[in-house]
Amino acid sequence: VRASHILIKHAGSRRKASWRDEHGVRISATTRDQAAAQLRTIRDDIVSGKSKFDVAASRISDCSSAKRGGDLGTFGRGQMQKPFEDASYGLSVGEISDIIDTDSGVHIIMRTG
């Protein structure tokens, strides 16, 4: 499959730093519920047409894929964390997931291929 995502890290994330928060100050102060609420608002804006997925990803995602609009390229089974993989394979092309929890943080995923 091919997918893009937006990741928001939180205090429970396995790595508490990102390109947006090099020292993890914001990430360490963010609860999982706060991260999920922020991501839910972003998802709602994308679905309603107020925002575009790639633009939101490049501004907000804690993943280095932000510089590619969240694009992760193609991947097969066993290459991503299980909840992420299951969600990605369960989507139709163009569909956006609900909030997905992994050890990295909370995500929304858009299957692109």
Q: Which residues are catalytic?
A: 5, 63, 81, 104, 107
- Counting Cα atoms < 13 Å in the Cβ hemisphere of 49 gives 0
| H helix intervals, 2-112 | 25-28, 32-48, 53-60, 82-90
User: What residues are paired with 5 via a beta bridge?
Assistant: 109
Q: To which H or E segment does residue 8 belong?
A: strand 2-8
